[in-house]
Amino acid sequence: MSVITKKWYVLRAIGGKEKKAKEYIENEVKRLKLEEYISQVLIPTEKIYQVKNGKKISKDRIFYPGYVLIEAALVGEIPHILRNTTHIMGFLGEVKGGDPMPLRLNEVNRILGRVDELAENGEENITPFVVGEAVKVTDGPFNGFNGTIQEINEDRKKLKVMVKIFGRENLLELSFIQVEKE
């Protein structure tokens, strides 16, 4: 038996249904025993942290909404099976009647490298801020107030924000997750 060469492809999915599409593809692969032809189905995500009701919650944010990456050998009926999966609209870069275009190796490495880097960093990927930037306080006693960043402490993940309260400016020290960009 010859060696099966797999390449990375991008499938267009219905926005917001990427995880469900991935699930359907994985179930189809198991059901039809196509593991040797389709090895990975991937949705690049990053963890973002927010404060809701005084609690810090983490949420997965999809890097490329509406797209699912797949490592596969498109032989025989496999492209047809993938195109007809629920929530999938077809391949990205596909010419009508032609074969789907695989991703270039450097694109794949960039995407996968970014995913690995975020998995290692964990909480490090909270939105960075800039001195002088306008922010809105989203948590704590000053919730709803707007202010300007005066100082940033990256190590402690703290900001000093100048907020106008009853006509007087006050300097508040807040956590990165207690504010959002305006």
Q: At 120, is the secondary structure helix, strand, or coil?
A: helix
Mean pLDDT of 146-150: 93
- What pLDDT does residue 17 have? 92
Which residue spans within 30-167 are E strands per DSSP? Answer: 38-42, 45-52, 55-62, 67-72, 88-91, 134-137, 146-153, 158-165
User: In a 10 Å sphere around its CB, with 0-12 CB exposed, 13-18 middle and 19+ buried, how is residue 82 labelled?
Assistant: buried
Residues 6+ apart with CB under 8 A from 146: 134, 135, 136, 137, 163, 164, 182
Q: What is the mean pLDDT of residues 55-70?
A: 85
Per-residue pLDDT tens digits for 75-127? 889 999 999 999 999 898 877 767 788 998 888 888 888 766 666 655 544 55
Distance CA 88, CA 21 (A): 7
Instruction: Name the residue among 147, 139, 173, 70 with its Cα closest to residue 79.
Output: 70
Supply the mean pLDDT for the chain.
Answer: 85
pLDDT in the model for residue 171: 93
pLDDT band at 163 (very low <50, low <70, confident <90, very high): very high
Q: Are 138 and 51 in contact (CB under 8 A)?
A: yes
Residue type, 166: F
Query: Quick check: 39 pLDDT over 80?
Result: yes
Q: Give me the domains of the chain, ranges plus CATH numbers.
A: 7-125 (3.30.70.940), 134-181 (2.30.30.30)
Q: Are 75 and 37 in contact (CB under 8 A)?
A: yes
